């Protein structure tokens, strides 16, 4: 525990734990991997959060990715209010969802058609069904430490779960449901080559985070991505980029724009909903046209394309187009990373700050982290000490060694200086 006065959050957490499993609605929020009580958030604005005890934090969680413009961004808030005043859900098509679909397809050109869903999980599970139906093949490749939401077939080596090949990470997922999942080490092209040899003609697609965020930030070698396309295409399999985290964050067109690649299918989420629940998946016309009602592959949703969520997504994407903030975000992130490195070096603490665009992770490791196996070698106890030292000094980092932190357009030089000062003070105590 850190020394902050957290009476109200502690009281709320006790109360929450009596009526909600683990006191939270999503596991990482409970601070299990760093210990202690999570602050309950009362409000947020720009790059700051305020908790139920009135303490203020510089926020690098950003709701785990969506808040690229910072919290309560005025245009997003007014778009939400305006949309809500016209009704909250119709279960019928709207003009705004067409505008959002057009904007997504123009920003991410590999998407010729797109379907809106309600979360990244839905996007990935629907893209998998579509890839299997289009190819007529049952198996798929994913990579250890990449997370594609919590649907059954993806829960194999998904982030920090059970580390046994082909066994599900969670009770309640029958082994039969992951029997067609092949999970391989990230960046291991030889392993991918061997899988395609062994299961030639049976693999529907290769799913991956094109820059990993869910084992902490790991940007792959470009040659790894290029080789994946060669191997998949040679066997008639699809390449599916899960850009739920990287989409509209690393560049307007996501990681695929950064690397100059064109996946067959793409999953989106987080930023595309501007802080409200949206996911999306899309890709080549002939694949997407297999989807109901145009084709036979079933996928549906009562609240899909919800007008309020769509209005938040549109306002967010339009602001990103207008501001084109990606280089600036990358510079701010690089300044932070340099500050962390210097503070660690001054105190003889081995860390690796891995960053890509506005995503970063401070790994407590002596060597660069290249995959899930090397991520798991990090000193998670040191990470917890660092995390709590930063929290006590008003800096809110992602509460696990195996997560990405996010910089928003609201993080200014004062926030960066305060963050670096907090890191210097924290690491001086190691």
Provide the binding-site residues for ligand PLP, judged by CB under 6 A: 64, 119-121, 124, 147-149, 209, 213-214, 242, 244-245, 269, 279
* Main-chain phi, psi angles of 17, to 5 degrees: -70, -20
Helix axes 95-107, 307-323, angle to 10 degrees: 40
Q: Which is nearer to ligand PLP, 158 or 349 (CB)?
A: 158
Residue nearest to ligand PLP (CB): 120
- Per the structure block, which two tokens stand in for 36? 């202690």
Task: Name which of 38 and 213 has its Cβ closer to ligand PLP.
Answer: 213
The nearest distance, CB 65 to ligand PLP, in angstroms, is 7
Query: Beta-carbon neighbour count of residue 58 at 10 Å?
Result: 22
- Selecting among 57, 60, 73, 147, the annotated active-site residue is 147
Tokens 């629907």 locate to 126
Least Cβ distance, residue 278 to ligand PLP (angstroms)? 9
Cβ of residue 216: shortest distance to ligand PLP, in angstroms? 12
Catalytic residue status for 376: no
Residues 6+ apart with CB under 8 A from 222: 259
Torsion, CA 103, CA 104, CA 107, CA 109, rounded to 10: -120
Per DSSP, 295 falls in state: S
Tokens, residue 351: 């860390």
Our CB check for ligand PLP shows the closer of 195 and 398 to be: 398
Of the listed 169, 242, 371, 396, which one is catalytic? 242
How crowded is residue 292: how many other Cβ atoms within 10 Å of its Cβ? Answer: 11
Closest separation in Å from C-beta 120 to ligand PLP: 2
CB of 396 to ligand PLP, least distance (A): 17
Could you confirm whether 169 is annotated as catalytic? no
The nearest distance, CB 102 to ligand PLP, in angstroms, is 23
**Closer CB to ligand PLP, 147 or 386, in the complex:** 147
Among candidate residues 144, 270, 371, 396, the one labeled active-site is 270
Which residue has tokens 């080789």? Answer: 227
- How far, CA to CA in Å, does 382 sit from each of 1, 97, 350, 351, 399? 14, 46, 10, 10, 13
Q: Of 116 and 420, which CB lies nearer to ligand PLP in the complex structure?
A: 116
Q: What is the dihedral of CA 225, 229, 232, 238, to 10 degrees?
A: 100
Q: Which is nearer to ligand PLP, 46 or 269 (CB)?
A: 269
DSSP strand pairing (48-51 vs 56-59): antiparallel
- Identify each DSSP E strand in 46-152 by its residue range: 48-51, 56-59, 113-117, 139-143
57 counts as catalytic: no
Q: What are phi and psi of 24, to 5 degrees?
A: -140, 170
Radius of gyration of the chain (CA): 21
The set of catalytic residues is 147, 242, 270
């Amino acid at each position: 525990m850190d020394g902050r006065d957290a009476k109200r959050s502690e009281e709320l957490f006790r109360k929450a734990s009596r009526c909600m499993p683990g006191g939270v609605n999503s596991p990482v929020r409970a601070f299990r991997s760093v210990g202690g009580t999570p602050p309950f958030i009362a409000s947020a604005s720009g790059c700051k959060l305020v908790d139920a005890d009135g303490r203020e934090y510089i926020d690098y969680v950003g709701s785990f990715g969506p808040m690229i413009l910072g919290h309560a961004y005025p245009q997003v808030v007014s778009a939400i209010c305006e949309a809500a005043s016209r009704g909250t859900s119709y279960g019928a098509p709207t003009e705004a969802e067409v505008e959002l679909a057009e904007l997504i397809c123009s920003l991410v050109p590999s998407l010729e058609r797109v379907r809106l869903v309600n979360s990244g999980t839905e996007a990935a599970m629907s893209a998998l069904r579509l890839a299997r139906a289009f190819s007529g093949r049952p198996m798929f490749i994913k990579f250890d430490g990449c997370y594609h939401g919590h649907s059954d077939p993806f829960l194999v080596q998904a982030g920090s779960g059970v580390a046994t090949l082909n066994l599900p990470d969670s009770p309640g997922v029958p082994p039969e449901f992951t029997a067609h999942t092949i999970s391989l080490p990230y960046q291991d092209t030889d392993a991918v080559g061997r899988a395609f040899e062994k299961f030639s003609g049976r693999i529907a697609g290769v799913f991956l985070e094109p820059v990993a965020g869910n084992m902490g930030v790991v940007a792959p070698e470009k040659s790894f991505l290029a080789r994946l396309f060669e191997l998949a295409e040679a066997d008639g399999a699809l390449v599916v980029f899960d850009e739920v985290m990287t989409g509209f964050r690393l560049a307007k067109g996501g990681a695929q724009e950064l690397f100059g690649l064109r996946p067959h299918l793409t999953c989106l989420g987080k930023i595309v909903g501007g802080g409200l629940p949206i996911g999306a998946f899309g890709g080549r016309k002939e694949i997407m046209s297999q989807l109901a009602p145009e084709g036979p592959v079933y996928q549906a949703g009562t609240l899909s394309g919800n007008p309020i969520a769509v209005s938040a997504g549109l306002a967010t994407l339009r602001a990103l187009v207008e501001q084109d903030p990606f280089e600036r975000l990358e510079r701010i992130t690089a300044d932070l990373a340099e500050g962390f490195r210097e503070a660690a070096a001054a105190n003889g603490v081995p860390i690796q700050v891995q960053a890509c665009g506005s995503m970063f992770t401070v790994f407590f490791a002596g060597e660069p982290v290249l995959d899930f196996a090397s991520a798991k070698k990090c000193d998670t106890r040191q990470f917890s000490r660092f995390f709590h030292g930063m929290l006590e000094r008003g800096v809110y980092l992602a509460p696990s060694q195996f997560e990405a932190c996010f910089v928003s357009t609201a993080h200014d030089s004062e926030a960066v200086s305060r963050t670096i000062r907090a890191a210097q003070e924290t690491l001086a105590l190691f």
